[in-house]
A and B are shown apart, each in its own frame.
Chain A
Amino acid sequence: MNIKIKFFGQHKEELNKSELNIVVDNNSNISDLVKILIKNEPKFSKFKSYAVAVNLNYENFEYILKNGDEVAIIPPVSGG
């Protein structure tokens, strides 16, 4: 399945990219995706504190991905 990952803030800056396309197996969840992400982008392993949104909704790491999902990695927010 093809998954698009979006990066923001410090993640985007440190990885020097705002998007990444990753292929995962069927029935993969967010935790599986993160493992593949770290293989592709080892620098991401330093980040421990972030949330994940799938198709604009916050989801937990057990969320089962579907082909074409857009996964946003959300660093700690700090608006205001």
Chain B
Amino acid sequence: MIDITNNEIVLNDYMSFKNEPESGSLLFFCGTTRDNNLDKNVKYLEYETFEEMALIKLNEIRKFAISEWNLNRLEIIHRIGIVDISEISLLIIASSPHRNESFRAIEYVIDELKKSVPIWKKEFYVDGDAWIGSPDNPN
């Protein structure tokens, strides 16, 4: 499953199931919002996306990872809009016969997401704001 949502990502909503019978590993990765970056105190973040294209890119990433690491399940959920500190902005769930495949697949998904999926975040500070990844604020 791929999802881009304005709603809060509640981990429990995704945990009330059994793993795939062919799997021996089930990994959850949560990317959460930090209250600091580049020596600044972050109050909250806001994510924006080009959703139509982001869904295509996420599906490409998912399809490749499932095939490359023989996954039985791979879900990628990204939140957009305003996200308060400590909340989940990204959830990746991977299920595979053995743990190595899930670990490697999740790392691949995050790395690719940060390279090619049109999602942007803006940090809000006490004294201003900044788009992350812009040349003015490299990260």
A positions within 8 Å CB-CB of B? 6, 8-10, 13, 48-49, 53, 56, 58, 72, 74-80
Tell whether B9 is near chain A: CB-to-CB under 8 Å. no
Give the A-B pair count, Cβ closer than 8 A: 70
B121 touches A79 (CB 8 A): yes
By DSSP majority rule, is chain B's interface helix, strand, loop, or mixed? Answer: mixed
Which residues of the other chain, A, contact B20 by a CB distance below 8 angstroms?
none
B118 touches A74 (CB 8 A): yes
Q: How distant is B47 from chain A, measured CB to nearest CB, in Å?
A: 7
Among all A-B residue pairs, the 4 with the closest Cβ atoms: A79-B119, A78-B133, A76-B133, A9-B120
Tell whether B116 is near chain A: CB-to-CB under 8 Å. yes
Complex Cα gap A6–B133 (Å): 19
